[in-house]
Structure 1
């Protein structure tokens, strides 16, 4: 995400695939030549996969998939969440699950919001079917 001359990179930090991972952010004021200020946003208490971090006037909304309701089940039982962050990337509220009305696990890739519609791009059942889905949900 690029905002006010600063490039922000939100990433997953994990020791091994499908293991517990934190979500972190670093920033660059020189277009990505150097990076600094690594900060943990979410602790490594589940397998978190970042998708999108969208700014608004006074905060950010981070969208991600996670197996936090079924730790250790990773992609097979992951769900989608959003969490509000302040301008220092500190959570200002608890994570909120987003119901995409799917029975299988979800690996969220991206989120876009336009004209009161939220668009979610994700893989359903990533390890087996790996179906790519674009779903819209009305915000009104």
Structure 2
């Protein structure tokens, strides 16, 4: 999947939603952002239901800011990233979603259920990898 250029429509990424159930991966992304020159606030949730609620700004997330970018773990426990995509695809087409997976084989075999996800990437193994993804989506960073 090629990386779209969002520089005109997206502008800067100020709020990043991370839908991830692994606390170590959450900490890794937060540290990567905090140690970079980016001024990005990371909001993290650990379930697909919480991710959908956050994006739709309902329940405990009714006061949440709409994210400029979503990092979505494709292999959430008890559910999948596919369920998140299906639940939000009609309402949030303007928010870029980057699917992250720890399995290189998943990248090669899974087919996206829609065009909602903009990019499918193997989870970076170093902090700069996350920064590079953000900058590829919003080059003005």
TM-score bracket relative to the smaller structure: under 0.3
* The structure with more strand, counted as a fraction of residues: 1
Structure (1 or 2) with the larger CA radius of gyration: 1
Relative contact order higher in (CA < 8 Å, ≥ 6 apart): 2
TM-score normalised according to structure 2 size = 0.26
What TM-score do you get using the length of structure 1 for normalisation? Answer: 0.26
